[in-house]
């Protein structure tokens, strides 16, 4: 049985709805759509998008209004959905949903951005340390697919100017080392599994200086799968032509 999952940091779901998110989903027809940085409560969005095109849905907004938050939409409801990773200092920011799909867990996540301050960088590093152990614990129960905005460009080919941007938040050595450690612990970057050396494929572009038009981007949105699921990866695509956010949708097709 095939499955199509789309992940997209929408950078404000209400704004993205106005920019044709419903028509995008109608065209692509994913089995599951995972949105990050929704910056909205369900009730606020439903005023603009009544019924959410008939999709089942679950929301984990941040307690703080207009900030962070994830939401997932599906044709068929998962067996169960849990929110958070079990640490209140992270979970109040609405960063994680865990969906039990029977054969595997699907995790919709929005990792912290450490760029705002030194404190936020160490908040992010603490989140990464917690997530590393938590993901391994989940993986021992059943395989998983982690998707969303990880806020890390892993390799030099995942960022448009690795020399100039070396040490920038999202491309700091300790962040990249964390990603390598995770992949060494029994997980696979689905895109790099299929396209190990493909360059100039990005998922986020700054709004400044025409970065998107010039493809000066970063690949920070991922599908990371348990190693024992890698043979089911059929395709991974970044839909760079789709506007509506500073990120583009990322598509995973499983067989």
Render pLDDT for 200-221 as a digit per residue (tens, 0 to 9).
Answer: 999 999 999 899 999 999 999 9
Confidence of residue 1 (pLDDT cuts 50, 70, 90): low
Q: Is 149 a catalytic residue?
A: yes
Only one residue has tokens 């390598």, namely 180
**Which three-class secondary structure state does DSSP give residue 136?**
helix
Confidence of residue 88 (pLDDT cuts 50, 70, 90): very high
Q: What is the C-alpha to C-alpha distance for residues 16 and 249, in angstroms, rounded to an integer?
A: 12
Catalytic one of 31, 58, 103, 149:
149
What is the average per-residue pLDDT within 9-37?
97
Domains and CATH numbers, the chain: 3-254 (3.60.10.10)
Total-model pTM? 0.97
Inter-residue contact 248 to 36 (CB < 8 Å) = no
**Residue 168 pLDDT > 70:** yes
DSSP 165-232: TTTSTTS-HHHHHHHHHHHHTTEEEHHHHH-TT--S--SEE-SGGGTTTTT-EE--EEEEEEGGGGGG
């Amino acid at each position: 049985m095939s499955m199509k999952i789309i992940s997209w940091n929408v950078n404000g779901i209400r704004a993205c709805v106005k920019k044709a998110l419903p028509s995008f989903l109608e065209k692509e027809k994913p089995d599951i759509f995972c949105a990050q940085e929704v910056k909205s409560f369900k009730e606020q969005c439903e005023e603009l998008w009544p019924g959410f095109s008939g999709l089942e849905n679950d929301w984990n907004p941040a307690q703080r209004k207009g900030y962070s938050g994830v939401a997932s939409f599906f044709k068929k409801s998962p067996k169960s959905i849990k929110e958070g990773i079990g640490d209140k200092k992270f979970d109040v920011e609405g960063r994680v949903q865990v969906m039990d799909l029977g054969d595997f867990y699907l995790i919709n996540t929005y990792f912290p951005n450490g760029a705002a301050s030194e404190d936020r960088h160490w908040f992010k590093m603490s989140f990464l340390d917690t997530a590393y152990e938590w993901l391994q614990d989940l993986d021992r129960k059943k395989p998983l697919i982690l998707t969303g905005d990880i806020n890390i460009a892993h390799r030099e080919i995942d960022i448009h100017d690795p020399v100039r941007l070396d040490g920038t938040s999202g491309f700091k050595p300790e962040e990249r080392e964390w990603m390598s450690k995770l992949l060494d612990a029994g997980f696979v970057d689905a895109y790099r599994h299929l396209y190990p050396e493909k360059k100039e494929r990005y998922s986020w572009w700054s709004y400044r200086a025409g970065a998107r038009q010039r493809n000066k981007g970063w690949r920070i949105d991922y599908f990371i799968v348990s190693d024992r699921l890698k043979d089911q990866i059929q395709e991974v695509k970044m839909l760079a032509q789709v506007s509506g956010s500073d990120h583009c949708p990322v598509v995973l097709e499983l067989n």
